[in-house]
Structure 1
């Protein structure tokens, strides 16, 4: 026993002396899942990463928390779930609470030289540069040699979704041999996209090798911990933007040089695989831990390496908000074996028309085949309304095709993950239950995080209860929904209306008088807009006329701003042919202007293109 104690003193404290802290290099890439040889993919051609993995720790259960880049990277930089910051929506921009410091700031305060010469893409205001200045036109390695310890992030973009759109392409992987997941149709375009995806990964593998060579040539390899990871699942549809594992599971490989072996906890072999659950929310605390810095209380992740490495979490959590110009709201949780998805807007399909997603040939042919009735049930699900709850056995059903949520055999697992997610939402005080307009307008002087932590301004328990009543679609919840229409909080009213709308004509008809009153006088434009969609879809001709009048008015971004405008246009699109009476007036709406959000220009045009195209009208 005395020997073990002495050995611990020898191994651990020596590693964390201020003058002998490790350099940290992140080599990141975009839009890839674990489609690498070292993860058992036989179609992949990744010799350099495979060799790297043999002398490193390979994480089998790494999750990006968000299935799209901006909220995923926001989670990384903050060590906080982007959903807890109100930053879940793709390419949004929100204030940070004043007491939150991002990890590069904390690392620099601890004496690290921190650079990121590539992509940032954060949904939060950083109030200036959080990195040390670097001349991107000059070689970076001499600067890193001179500024140790360093933390450097080098990002590769050649695997990004946009590179699946590029044609012509000379395929190196044979499309005929491409592995097609069972939820994708076996069409030539799909095979070509998958083969091109693997080609892009092979190009990334060569880039990765070059970075390691430059690290070694600079004489820094023995002093540098190297991370490799992708920022979320592949750029293919039902991967990127999806809360399935295909959208959240990423490769994560970490090499710790021999001299820093003491920074590895017992659950992370220096060379080998680990099943530890790791999320992007854990990356910032881990980097700080490697630098011998205690994470601040605001960080919600746990370090998995370093001086402050913590016990593995029992659950990982994911979130999906607005994707491009399409609103959605889902949350997820998983344990070591099962994954649970909670869809709060089951009326919206996972495959809603996001313009950028439809640039991928697979998306186009997949939707065409669905419309033509050429797909099986597994291939059709992407285009259909979602179930309120999904539960999958990742061990026996890695493609997540068989929803076990209604299977009594898995009732205990369902309850475990349902309760874990519920508690997580309350713990981080997830502000995503507010419509996006109210996320910004309810307390404009506060960050969404501060708003969410004020129970008077954001009564989360009551809002969450109504959101559950609305979206679980139980017929027993009608009385609660009708009562919610008169609640003093607009978010409760919002979810009450959505709950009636999700249930269809009978539920809306029974509440039509209250809904008509809300349409005319509710102080929240977001509430009036969901009422308009409900009455437009299921009301009388006169109610449809009143609904269209409001939606046309609310669609004007100059009057109501970008969030209400987008919500109204989505409602008009959902009404389909019923919106024909206002089609020509929609052509006159302002498309651009200072009212647009700076990171989301052009969304009015994207939605109008779909709506007007239905009526054969030009933009």
Structure 2
């Protein structure tokens, strides 16, 4: 007791300095909304009615080239919470829920260690699982007001009013006049499309009011001058070819950042009220940025770059994006932009950007657009979304902001194409992007080795050795033919064989026939390469018996008694591309086991619906649980 009394002055001094330190650190408030691009008045959209966000922007700085990094919520939020590109963790696929490696810590936990009170209201939706997420409270009631007095806070308020599901309701009279909508050229001019756009803008007005209520609470509490405020949306608009699209209309989001005078030393050079920044910022940068604002040095394993705070960095040359499986539809695309050009690399070029997703097709604009395409009533630009996409796309946003003219084959842009292709492939290598490892094979290998997908990427995956096989679709035909003739006669590993089969999937039957022996050999080996080979052989018109056997092979892959759910989803997609299927095959599929719970269950049910099998039951909303720690 005497020793404590003797040290009391020092203890008081320590406590006083701690309080002072806390006072010098900013509160940080993130106001986020779902499914909307930069369709705000402050971004020059004259159709938008967003006075409160426009007023916030007038005393803040807006980022004109902000990217969600992923065009769908769960993948984008996984990138935010980790500060890493989700494909490096195997978490790029929608609602995949992969296990995190032990070394990974979510940024709220790092903020919490630094003395911040961290709340999230309320959406998480991460594709990755950790034991402790770091939130003091994450629930529909979470609020910075619950913090201990004097403690700095980091708080998120997420609004769902603008979500895709909210723009397709039966509201008969949108407040925004549908006749005044400025339609993008890829959308057909139909009443349903105009109405959905008008409803979308109505929802942005509602979000605008919700955002202002958050700001009013700050002001009423006397914290306006002590709080750095961010406003952003979680990816592009919920309209078709916004959300889920790997290009700029799927990734471009608003980003408004307000730094009060007290903390201007944490703002970037050139920050001014009402200003704009053309710096490339992405969701991968948010975690290191918020840590930097709190005075915490971002960990080296984070891929992002802080654009505010003590540890802010130089602007990157490129902003990267990615697209994995979207609900029940597998796909593999990567993109990057330098602010002017957008490059998209499609690894499965036999697929369209506009795959028919059960959930997305609930929007009237999507259904009408697809029906018009099927009837041949869409023009070239409007039809492109529903047709197989090329292996590479290149768009000049300065002349073509809606990404409708692919410049990938235009000679004058060849050097730009090569530079962006190289930057993409270097990014794959540097971040150990699992783009080259299909989802079923990723999980199978991780389970076999007893590691997480992230550890698999770091220690058991060599993208440089696989890239040549996945690059076949980029080669001149003669060069690709020579490589195929060499490789198809070798006993290659399964992954390399998979990429050869994927390339063959893009070729006409007259070219494929030369590699029939390879396909038959591959189909007998098993695994995902066998599934791809079976789909190709099932299309062959020359050997009816062989084609029927290939279809039966796909049916077996679809059976969840024989396959994991990841492989089953791939098999159902292959069968869907082979439609119409014989009645005998439909009857056999109807009798198959189909999981209805756990990962993949609802997606398998949706694929069965696409095949005319029993329709999926409506998804029941689960009661959200608080995970306060």
- TM more than 0.5: yes
Q: Counterparts of 2:605 and 2:615 in 1: how far apart (Å)?
A: 11
Instruction: Output one character per residue of 1:568-596: Cα deviation in whole Å (capped at 9) or x when no partner.
Output: 111111111255441110111223255x4
**In the alignment, is residue 75 of structure 1 matched against residue 79 of structure 2?**
yes
Q: Which runs of structure 2 are paired with 1:276-291 in the superposition (5 Å)?
A: 276-291=279-294
Q: Counterparts of 1:322 and 1:393 in 2: how far apart (Å)?
A: 27
Over 3 Å counting, the alpha-carbon distance change for 1:363 and 1:99 in structure 2 is: same
Shift of 1:173: 0.2
Q: Counterparts of 1:186 and 1:216 in 2: how far apart (Å)?
A: 44
**In the alignment, is residue 567 of structure 1 matched against residue 567 of structure 2?**
no
Shift of 1:518: 1.8
Q: Which runs of structure 2 are paired with 1:242-253 in the superposition (5 Å)?
A: 242-253=245-256
Q: Among 330, 346, 349, which residue is 2:352 paired with? A: 349
Say what the alpha-carbon RMSD is for the aligned residues: 2.0
Over 3 Å counting, the alpha-carbon distance change for 1:147 and 1:189 in structure 2 is: farther
Q: Counterparts of 1:579 and 1:15 in 2: how far apart (Å)?
A: 74
Q: Counterparts of 1:526 and 1:216 in 2: how far apart (Å)?
A: 57
Shift of 1:422: 1.1
2:545 alignment partner, SS class: helix
Shift of 1:472: 5.5
**In the alignment, is residue 447 of structure 1 matched against residue 455 of structure 2?**
no
Shift of 1:148: 2.1
- 2:481 aligned residue: 478
2:482 alignment partner, SS class: helix
Single out whichever of 94-103 and 577-586 deviates more from structure 2: 577-586
- 1:328 aligned residue: 331
- 1:9 aligned residue: none
Q: Among 85, 91, 113, which residue is 1:109 paired with? A: 113
1:24 alignment partner, SS class: strand
Single out whichever of 504-513 and 469-478 deviates more from structure 2: 469-478
2:23–2:150 Cα contact (<8 Å) kept: no
- 1:3 aligned residue: none
- 2:544 aligned residue: 541
**In the alignment, is residue 172 of structure 1 matched against residue 184 of structure 2?**
no
Instruction: Output one character per residue of 1:132-178: Cα deviation in whole Å (capped at 9) or x when no partner.
Output: 0367448x353147362110011000100000221134310001111
Shift of 1:601: 3.0
Shift of 1:419: 1.1
May I ask how many residue pairs the two structures share in their alignment? 595
- 2:611 aligned residue: 611
1:511 alignment partner, SS class: helix
1:57–1:255 Cα contact (<8 Å) kept: yes
Q: Counterparts of 2:298 and 2:105 in 1: how far apart (Å)?
A: 10
Q: Among 417, 420, 424, which residue is 1:417 paired with? A: 420
Which runs of 5 or more residues in structure 1 are unaligned? Answer: 1-13
Over 3 Å counting, the alpha-carbon distance change for 1:125 and 1:483 in structure 2 is: farther
Shift of 1:435: 1.5
- 1:60 aligned residue: 64
Over 3 Å counting, the alpha-carbon distance change for 1:83 and 1:474 in structure 2 is: farther
1:331 alignment partner, SS class: strand
Shift of 1:206: 0.5
2:264 alignment partner, SS class: helix
1:243–1:319 Cα contact (<8 Å) kept: yes
1:173 alignment partner, SS class: coil
Q: Among 82, 94, 101, which residue is 1:97 paired with? A: 101
Q: Counterparts of 2:20 and 2:513 in 1: how far apart (Å)?
A: 67
1:16–1:307 Cα contact (<8 Å) kept: no
**In the alignment, is residue 186 of structure 1 matched against residue 192 of structure 2?**
no
Single out whichever of 75-84 and 122-131 deviates more from structure 2: 122-131
1:469–1:477 Cα contact (<8 Å) kept: yes
**In the alignment, is residue 491 of structure 1 matched against residue 495 of structure 2?**
yes
Shift of 1:562: 0.3
Shift of 1:517: 1.9
**In the alignment, is residue 124 of structure 1 matched against residue 128 of structure 2?**
yes
Shift of 1:218: 1.3
Instruction: Output one character per residue of 1:320-344: Cα deviation in whole Å (capped at 9) or x when no partner.
Output: 1111101111111110211111111
- 1:46 aligned residue: 50
Q: Among 431, 435, 440, which residue is 2:434 paired with? A: 431
Single out whichever of 412-421 and 126-135 deviates more from structure 2: 126-135
Q: Counterparts of 2:422 and 2:44 in 1: how far apart (Å)?
A: 33
TM-score norm. by structure 1 comes to 0.93
**In the alignment, is residue 32 of structure 1 matched against residue 36 of structure 2?**
yes
1:141–1:215 Cα contact (<8 Å) kept: no
Shift of 1:473: 7.3
1:592–1:601 Cα contact (<8 Å) kept: yes
- 2:9 aligned residue: none
**In the alignment, is residue 373 of structure 1 matched against residue 376 of structure 2?**
yes
**In the alignment, is residue 384 of structure 1 matched against residue 387 of structure 2?**
yes
Single out whichever of 480-489 and 67-76 deviates more from structure 2: 480-489
Over 3 Å counting, the alpha-carbon distance change for 1:242 and 1:86 in structure 2 is: same
Q: Which runs of structure 2 are paired with 1:200-219 in the superposition (5 Å)?
A: 200-219=203-222
Over 3 Å counting, the alpha-carbon distance change for 1:16 and 1:250 in structure 2 is: farther
Q: Which runs of structure 2 are paired with 1:506-521 in the superposition (5 Å)?
A: 506-520=510-524
Q: Counterparts of 1:479 and 1:545 in 2: how far apart (Å)?
A: 30
2:22–2:150 Cα contact (<8 Å) kept: no
1:470–1:500 Cα contact (<8 Å) kept: no
2:97–2:129 Cα contact (<8 Å) kept: yes
TM-score norm. by structure 2 comes to 0.91
Instruction: Output one character per residue of 1:43-94: Cα deviation in whole Å (capped at 9) or x when no partner.
Output: 0000000000000010000001100000000000000011111111111111
Q: Counterparts of 1:115 and 1:245 in 2: how far apart (Å)?
A: 31
**In the alignment, is residue 528 of structure 1 matched against residue 530 of structure 2?**
yes
2:85–2:303 Cα contact (<8 Å) kept: yes
Shift of 1:36: 0.2
**In the alignment, is residue 554 of structure 1 matched against residue 572 of structure 2?**
no
Q: Counterparts of 1:425 and 1:475 in 2: how far apart (Å)?
A: 27
1:466–1:481 Cα contact (<8 Å) kept: no
Shift of 1:373: 1.1
1:48–1:209 Cα contact (<8 Å) kept: yes
Q: Counterparts of 2:273 and 2:165 in 1: how far apart (Å)?
A: 35
Q: Counterparts of 1:57 and 1:147 in 2: how far apart (Å)?
A: 28
Which runs of 5 or more residues in structure 2 are unaligned? Answer: 1-17, 617-629
Q: Counterparts of 1:565 and 1:473 in 2: how far apart (Å)?
A: 34
1:560 alignment partner, SS class: coil
